[in-house]
Amino acid sequence: MAPSKTRTIKNKHAGPKGSTGAAAKGGVKRSATDGVSKPKSKKPKGPVVSQQVKEKNRALLMKRPKKKTYTAEELGIPTLNMITPIGVEKPKGKKKGKVFVDDKESMTTILNLVQAEKEGHIESKMIKARQLEEIREARKVEAEKKAAEKKSMLEDTKESLRKKRKRKNDGKEDNDTKSISLTGTKANKASRKKVSFA
Amino acid sequence: MRPLTEEETQAVFKKLAEYTGASLKNIIAPQEDGDRNVFRLSQNRVYVVRLSMANLATSIARDNLLSLGTCLGKFTKSGKFRIHITALPILAEHARHKLWIRPNGVMPFLYGGNIVKAHVGRFSEDCPEHQGLVVYTMDDVPLGFGVSARSTAESRRLDPTGVVCFRQADCGEYLRDEDTLFQSG
């Protein structure tokens, strides 16, 4: 009983087409009676098409218009005023992960770059050291020259003083030295200390 | 275990170039048997190893692989490269500036001391200040490496107790740092 009454619909979406199916049925009938299809038969199809269009329009009207999404560039937002900082954001389409250097060519280029940089550093250091050395040498020579000058001046003054003394104390100096050598100095005798034990 | 990235390779070469000259490129040059040396990073340590051996080592689990080839040094957490005494054979072979120490200076150096003028036997000419040096005994046995405290010209004028070279690594580390030298714990 039950299975005979139930109807199965193979295609759910075919349901609404059933309304148009009436027209189709009519078409079948006409074909059965006339056998030849007339231009009249096309008439009922006109309003159906318009109905469909209206339905579509209605559906379009019901839908809300899609909002346009703007990119940050279009809006002109300052680059720093973003959720992701500039440095953190990674470019799209770039391969994720590390890029390894394992082939000989790229390693050689890196090594050459590093060595050229190092050579430059060492060279500049050497030049700097040489310049400093030259300056030091020049200063040393200058200082030596000054010292020699000073010494010669001192010698000159000494010499001049000696000459002056000789003129003033011509015979007295000899007598004094003679007396000292004869009597000797008394300083040692006076300062001697004694220690006694019990 | 993985190859080095470009930045890492640059850091390693920069450090090696402190001590070595232009002949450093011989490290990566292809060898007679068609094999070549490659750099591999395993648990922050950088190794120089033959490519064939590095390929074989891929069959060993990361945790089980303690060491392979010659350890050059390790990357610190801030991304700097620190060279180890284990790199001495490579540095000694390609050294740019050398310093030979007298027999009386060998033990103080091996105990971690800096090199004073009194212990210097010979010194490379034209060595600038703060430049990497490889330290040898008078019999040309490499003992370690350091950084020059003064240029060659300045160190000549130095008094005997003045420091000529600051120690960076010495062979005594094999005993002193036995626990940490090969283990990244």
* Closest by Cα among B150, B151, B133, B132 to B142: B133
> Taking CA atoms, what residue in B is nearest to A123?
B128
Give B9's contacts in chain A (Cβ within 8 Å).
Answer: 101, 107, 110
Q: Do B128 and A133 touch (CB under 8 A)?
A: no
Q: Do A101 and B5 touch (CB under 8 A)?
A: yes
pLDDT at A95: 74
pLDDT at A22: 43
- Taking 70 as the pLDDT cut, the residues of chain A under it are 1-56, 60, 80-91, 169-190
Q: Do A108 and B126 touch (CB under 8 A)?
A: no
Please provide residue A86's backbone torsions phi and psi, each rounded to the nearest 5 degrees. -60, -45
Domain around A153: 104-166
Alpha carbon distance A198, B94 (integer Å): 81
Give me the CATH code for the B6-87 domain, please. 3.10.450.220
CB B128 within 8 A of CB B151: yes
> Taking CA atoms, what residue in A is nearest to B30?
A104
In a domain, A142, yes or no: yes
Q: Do B153 and A102 touch (CB under 8 A)?
A: no
CB B6 within 8 A of CB B66: no
Q: How many domains does chain A have?
A: 1
In a domain, A137, yes or no: yes
The reply to whether B97-175 shares the fold of B6-87 is: no
pLDDT at B154: 87
Strand partners, B70: B48
Residues A121-154: b if buried by 16+ CB within 10 A, e if exposed: ebeebeeebeeeeeeeeeeeeeeeeeeeeeeeee
CATH number among 3.40.50.1100, 2.40.480.10, 2.30.130.10, 3.40.50.720, domain B97-175: 2.30.130.10
pLDDT at A27: 44
Give A122's contacts in chain B (Cβ within 8 Å).
Answer: 128, 131
In a domain, A87, yes or no: no
Q: What ipTM does this complex have?
A: 0.86
In a domain, A140, yes or no: yes
In a domain, A117, yes or no: yes
Q: What is the DSSP string of B134-172?
A: EEEETTS-EEEEEEESS-HHHHHHS-TTSEEEEEEEETT
In a domain, A80, yes or no: no
Give the minimum alpha-carbon distance from A147 to chain B in angstroms, rounded to a whole number: 21
pLDDT at B113: 94
pLDDT at A1: 44
- Taking 70 as the pLDDT cut, the residues of chain B under it are 183-185
pLDDT at A169: 65
Q: Do B36 and A126 touch (CB under 8 A)?
A: no
pLDDT at B99: 95
pLDDT at A196: 84
In a domain, A127, yes or no: yes
In a domain, A147, yes or no: yes
What are the residue ranges spanned by the domains of chain B? Answer: 6-87, 97-175
Give B10's contacts in chain A (Cβ within 8 Å).
Answer: 110, 113-114
